[in-house]
Amino acid sequence: MTRILCTGSAGFIGSHLVERLLENKSNKIIVIDNLNTGKLSNLPKNKNLKVYVKSILDEDIDGLFDEVDIVFHLAALTRPQWSIEHPLEADRINVGGTLKILKHCLWKILNNIILKMFLNKY
């Protein structure tokens, strides 16, 4: 059994990643998403999927990294115009949030870290 944590996975790309990961019946998936841009309806209903509606900045997500084998980090603010207008908040979420995820991974001594950050250019 592989335990996989996916951040920001209620959006278009993340939900497709989760669907693909669930094709392997032995995978157990944990999703953390604040639903800022994603929707619960994007995620499949599956007994091997547990969804937490939380921000990656929340203090109480530490326990979700226990016993996790792989992390896919997709959570980010992806609206360039908003990021230009609110640079400090964008930095707090995108950079600070990513550093927090990496710290959780290092603290839990994960064997695999898969980090994917998105920058939408429209």
The pLDDT of residue 69 is 87
Within 8 A by CB and 6+ apart from 87, the residues are none
Beta bridge partners of 52: 32
* C-alpha 8: how far from chain center: 4
What CATH class does 2-115 carry?
Answer: alpha beta
Query: Per-residue confidence at 120, pLDDT binned at 50, 70, 90?
Result: very low
The pLDDT of residue 104 is 85
Largest CA distance in the chain: 44
How confident is the model over 24-66, as pLDDT tens digits? 999 999 999 999 989 999 999 999 999 999 999 998 998 899 8
Record the pTM: 0.83
Exposed e or buried b for every residue in 4-18, given b needs 16+ CB within 10 A?
A: bbbbbbbbeebbebb
Which sequence spans correspond to the domains of the chain?
Answer: 2-115
**pLDDT, greater one: 111 or 30:** 30
CA distance 65 to 56: 12
Closest CA to 8 of 83, 80, 78: 78
How confident is the model over 63-78, as pLDDT tens digits? 899 888 899 999 988 8
CA distance 70 to 113: 6
How confident is the model over 93-108, as pLDDT tens digits? 899 999 999 888 887 6
